[in-house]
Chain A
Amino acid sequence: EPEVTQTPSHQVTQMGQEVILRCVPISNHLYFYWYRQILGQKVEFLVSFYNNEISEKSEIFDDQFSVERPDGSNFTLKIRSTKLEDSAMYFCASSTGLAPLPQFFGPGTRLTVL
């Protein structure tokens, strides 16, 4: 069964550094998403992406964040200058269409900002 994959599984960085989190969505999916979960809190939506542009973003997704689909398979989330409060689990997801079609999630990248 096809799965969403994410790399790395754990990323440790210093405050102020740039990080890029990588995702490979399921191959025939058209919609891509990033969510995050700060330890002990709920899973929060960051951004959705379709047809090479952002279709929706939350208030969390400020100018420090950007997304890109650099080729036909990868989907990346870049945090320009990390802050301590960016420490979280970041989940990538993909779907064939909008809700109610389901989103399929990757295993997550744990980002630790020191």
Chain B
Amino acid sequence: AQSVSQHNHHVILSEAASLELGCNYSYGGTVNLFWYVQYPGQHLQLLLKYFSGDPLVKGIKGFEAEFIKSKFSFNLRKPSVQWSDTAEYFCATANQAGTALIFGKGTTLSVSS
């Protein structure tokens, strides 16, 4: 069964620092990978997704992720974080039928100004 694992539970950064959050997925055939963000008090929002094509995917708010097939990784990056990026970040994949998302445990990002 598909699964994703996120290595970092809590990341603390200063503003303008670079960000990389790790995500590894188990291969189950079709690749559908997502990063969602949940800002404090808000709902889950899609940052970006990958299913085929260019392995470097650009999302909203300056985020990007790189799909590396050989490493089974889909890490999220941002060159310079802002205080407003403080949130919980979830990596997710879809099951084979595409009918369900399977989430990682999430990474809490705290950015100090």
CB within 8 Å of B: which residues of A? 3-4, 31, 33, 35, 41-45, 48, 50, 55-56, 58, 91, 93, 98-100, 102-108
Contacts of B104 in A (CB 8 A): 42
B32 within 8 A of A: yes
In the complex, A55 Cα to B97 Cα: how many Å? Answer: 10
Q: What are the residues of chain B within 8 A of A45 when measuring CB–CB?
A: 100-102
Report chain A residues within 8 Å CB of B49: 100, 102
* B98 interface residue (CB < 8 Å to A): yes
Does the CB pair B44–A98 fall under 8 Å? no
Check if B113 is an interface residue, CB within 8 A of chain A. Answer: no
Interface centre among B49, B98, B99 (most CB of A within 10 A): B99
Q: Number of residues in B with C-beta < 8 Å to the partner?
A: 25
Chain A residue contacts of B105, Cβ below 8 A: 41-42
User: Which residues of A are found within 8 Å of B43, using beta-carbon distances?
Assistant: 3-4, 91, 105-108
Q: Tell me whether B34 and A105 are in contact (CB under 8 A).
A: no
| Contacts A4-B43, A91-B43; A99 near B103 (Cβ below 8 A) | no
A63 to B39, CA, bound (A): 33
7 cross-chain pairs, A with B, having the tightest CB-CB distances, nearest first: A98-B98, A99-B94, A99-B98, A100-B51, A56-B99, A105-B44, A43-B103
- Tell me the chain B residues, 30-78 only, with Cβ under 8 Å from chain A: 32, 34, 36, 42-46, 49-51
Could you tell me if A55 and B32 are in contact, using CB atoms closer than 8 angstroms?
A: no
In angstroms, how far is the closest chain A Cβ from the Cβ of B43? Answer: 4
Cβ of B97: which chain A residues have Cβ within 8 Å of it? Answer: 55-56, 98
On whether A107 and B32 interact (CB within 8 A), knowing A41-B105, A100-B51, the answer reads no
CA distance A4 to B99 in the complex (A): 18
A-B contacts, 13 of them at CB < 8 A, read A31-B99, A33-B101, A42-B103, A55-B97, A56-B95, A56-B97, A91-B44, A98-B98, A99-B98, A100-B50, A103-B101, A105-B44, A108-B43
